[in-house]
Chain A
């Protein structure tokens, strides 16, 4: 298995509170991604990073921010959690955008009550 660790694995939080999810990789891959998985919508890209301090938005980025201060860590922050952000969040990594496999972490199940 690719060395990807997501933390926490499960979290319950209240509406309006800030939440940070962490993705840590040991593969030294340049690209890191955050996806969310929802019934009826499948997996959708939130944000991605193409290097330290280099990030860009995906298709469902509203309400989320990210940071990448080190190659191995990619943080996803919900500044003020809403019930619509209840989901399973997956981190993924890849060496490049075009020609290489993407590897996924085990996911974080977030419930906003």
Chain B
């Protein structure tokens, strides 16, 4: 059974810092990995999708990498802003469902 772990569970940083969120998964037989953002009481917003054949994807200040063989992905956020405060979730797609990690709750302080 696929298991997805996100470390750290919570993170508090001052504005302007670059930061890395980690995601690990146990079964490397995946089609893709997706990073989401969730604000309190809201739905999930898709940030980046990395196909299993790709090594990284970039969108603005966000960069996600994927090392399928080692079962790891990282989400890099450059020059963090208070508006980045949210919970970040990674999810792996192995076919008929997404398996989610528990999320990293990020707070960026002004």
Contact = CB atoms under 8 A, between A and B. Distances in A.
A42 B101 CA distance: 7
Instruction: Identify whether the interface residues of B are mostly helix, strand, loop, or mixed.
Output: strand
Given A42-B101, A42-B103, A45-B98, A97 B43 contact: no
Interface size class of B (residues with CB under 8 A): 20 to 34
A42 to B, nearest CB: 5
Contacts of A107: 42-43
B43 A102 contact: no
Contacts, number: 54
A59 B43 contact: no
A102 B46 contact: yes
B31 A99 contact: yes
Interface string A70-113: 00000000000000000000101000011111111111000000
Interface of A: 33, 42-45, 48, 56, 58-59, 90, 92, 97-107
Interface of B: 31-32, 34, 36, 42-46, 49, 51, 89, 91, 93, 95-98, 100-103
